[in-house]
Structure 1
Amino acid sequence: MQFQGTEDYVATDDLKMAVNAAVALERPLLVKGEPGTGKTELARQVSTALGLEMIEWHIKSTTKAQQGLYEYDAVSRLRDSQLGDARVNDVRNYIKKGKLWQAFTADKKVVLLIDEVDKADIEFPNDLLQELDKMAFHVYETDETISAKHRPIVIITSNNEKELPDAFLRRCFFHYIRFPDMDTLRKIVAVHHPGIKDALLTTALTQFYEIRETQGLKKKPSTSEVLDWLKLLLAEDLSPEDLKRDGANALPKLHGALLKNEQDVHLFERLAFLARGAR
């Protein structure tokens, strides 16, 4: 079971090696990188390439580890008991299976995505250590143990918003998705915009990397944002000459696809002002 990328996803050799190493070791693959570098999409493409079902668990700031196992609705059971509902005789009627339960009891091996683990409380990763290690957990209400029929391929993503516990890191195979270089980004663009002319692409990507390297930028535009920007350039039928910037207008064309906060827009406006003053 080897991941070699797909037609719709450009995976570097390092990334393919990381996926296959995690599968061989039967360890969760922890993927970090800037937002928009394809971490979540990686799990979907692994699922497609290996022909496996995918189960997605998107983490929020309020998510608790227990929700990934199961939730017991005691309130509904109490209400039903007051109404004389016969369902109260079986506690299983009030247990909601979580994503790990679904992955563990699937009839075939699945890909389990735990997306943006760093959004949750700092204790969240630690609370999943034993379950991810042993691939099993105990349901106290029914006194049963749920064990994985087939060990899922677990892919965990993080945007590096907070440090993850050492004990959690030790149990994972780690890979950092670096921002793609020009050649890799060209390959990614070719997948999404195969008909784009080379002159326009070269001018646009040169300008894009210049924007990313601008000192003082609060949020660097990501891979997904440059793809959106190129889509707009094609829709507007702009030429390489249309993209040229001068001192009077430092903002890129259709900059709303690349610059996502007012501080960065003001930064380019100040650069234009300074350039005009230097003339």
Structure 2
Amino acid sequence: MPLAPNQYRFQGDPSQRPDDAHPDSPQEEEPYIADPALVKAVNLSIYLGRPLLLEGEAGCGKTRLASALAYELGLPFYRWDVRSTSKAKDGLYSYDAVLRLHDVQARAVESNLERRPSEPTDYRTWGALGQAFQVEDRPAVVLIDEIDKADLDFPNDLLAVLDEPWAFEIPETGETRAKKIQAKHMPIVLITSNKEKGDLPVPFLRRCIYYYVKFPDDQGRLKEIVDAHYETKAKLARPAKKPGPKLFQAAAERFLALREKGGLFKNPGTSEFLDWLDALQGFGSRPYSASKLKSESTIPYPELLFKLRGDWLKAASS
């Protein structure tokens, strides 16, 4: 049986990163402010060995949590971006039979090929979950991003892998039955979705720990995120001048009012806000006037906040 990762605890504090971090662990600190309830949900997922399903609007920080978790714990991190054509097998492995056939033919005229057509494992490539199963000394963090993009059978197909005995077979290489691929450690799996959880199959939801990530809808939370953003930039030797309190307050008020007003096809998220704040502070010859930002009807640098034509046209008309 694979070892459970329940000796690990996430604190939302990147300074806790161990000295012996895995080479596949993120190398740069992820500025992430985790709500205490979210920290508890992550640790429940780790303790119980169940995937953590994160839902919430785009830009609320679901994806970045996985990187922040892997960085703090020093664990390897593997990301799987789900597409409409994705199948559950894609996260485990891929097998290139065409390349093997090509090498069989090429071997007749070239004897120094790195790959061996007689060895089918030379044509096997690990997916994110497959990589996680190979880690010998610790669990890996796996992000399955935007699971709702795939068809309805996809989540249930994952259940056979994200549960006991944490193993899968590869018929193409003969790695079946006693030779099947067995996880050394149960991975810590985070799954994101931008839809309501009712859109996902009930058996899959029953298997997951669920948490809805709320957008930080007050100035206090936004300030924490902004402070962490600029502190991390300074640590990574990419310093940027932090906006003064008046400019931050004016920007936060304008940004939150824009979201609260509604009517947008896609609300801007925290990454858009941080880019916008950077531009307000440093893009021009001097920082943008806080009083002007409060009083004027137009929105400066709208290209940083609006990413769909309908929202852009609505902002331009106002």
TM-score normalised according to structure 1 size: 0.89
Deviates more, 1:79-88 or 1:106-115: 79-88
CA contact (8 A) 1:33 1:178 kept: yes
Pick aligned residue for 1:217 from 245, 249, 264: 264
2:288 paired with 1:253: no
Structure 1 vs Structure 2 CA RMSD: 2.0
Q: Distance in 2 between matches of 1:253 and 1:209?
A: 15
SS of structure 2 residue aligned to 1:131: coil
Q: Distance in 2 between matches of 1:99 and 1:193?
A: 31
Q: Distance in 2 between matches of 1:216 and 1:84?
A: 62
Q: Give 2:162's aligned residue.
A: 132
Q: Give 1:207's aligned residue.
A: 254
Q: Give 1:104's aligned residue.
A: 133
Q: Distance in 1 between matches of 2:84 and 2:307?
A: 22
CA contact (8 A) 2:55 2:196 kept: no
The amino acid across from 1:95 in the alignment is R
SS of structure 1 residue aligned to 2:66: helix
Q: Describe how 1:57-136 pairs up with structure 2 within 5 A.
A: 57-84=80-107, 87-107=116-136, 108-134=138-164, 135-136=166-167
SS of structure 1 residue aligned to 2:144: strand
Q: Give 1:20's aligned residue.
A: 43
CA contact (8 A) 1:55 1:110 kept: yes
Q: Distance in 1 between matches of 2:89 and 2:194?
A: 22
Q: Distance in 2 between matches of 1:261 and 1:71?
A: 35
| 1:196 to partner: Cα distance | 2.4
2:183 paired with 1:148: yes
SS of structure 1 residue aligned to 2:314: helix
Q: Describe how 1:224-263 pairs up with structure 2 within 5 A.
A: 224-235=271-282, 236=284, 237-246=287-296, 250-263=297-310
| 1:18 to partner: Cα distance | 0.7
| 1:212 to partner: Cα distance | 0.6
Segments of structure 2 that go 5 or more residues without pairing to the other structure are 1-7, 15-30, 232-241
Instruction: Report percent identity of matched pairs.
Output: 44
2:226 paired with 1:189: yes
CA contact (8 A) 1:113 1:156 kept: yes
Aligned length: 268
Q: Distance in 2 between matches of 1:100 and 1:72?
A: 15
Q: Distance in 1 between matches of 2:190 and 2:300?
A: 37
| 1:113 to partner: Cα distance | 1.2
CA contact (8 A) 2:302 2:315 kept: no
CA deviations over 1:66-89 (Å, ceiling 9, x no partner): 111122222222333344568232
Q: Give 1:276's aligned residue.
A: none
CA contact (8 A) 1:119 1:161 kept: no
CA contact (8 A) 1:245 1:251 kept: no
CA contact (8 A) 2:250 2:290 kept: yes
Pick aligned residue for 1:160 from 195, 199, 204: 195
Q: Distance in 2 between matches of 1:242 and 1:193?
A: 24
CA contact (8 A) 1:109 1:153 kept: yes
Q: Distance in 2 between matches of 1:111 and 1:191?
A: 23
The verdict on how the C-alpha distance between 1:58 and 1:262 changes in structure 2, with shifts beyond 3 A counting, is closer
Q: Distance in 1 between matches of 2:217 and 2:294?
A: 22
The amino acid across from 1:242 in the alignment is K
Q: Which has the higher strand share?
A: 1
The verdict on how the C-alpha distance between 1:223 and 1:81 changes in structure 2, with shifts beyond 3 A counting, is same
The amino acid across from 2:10 in the alignment is F
| 1:161 to partner: Cα distance | 7.9
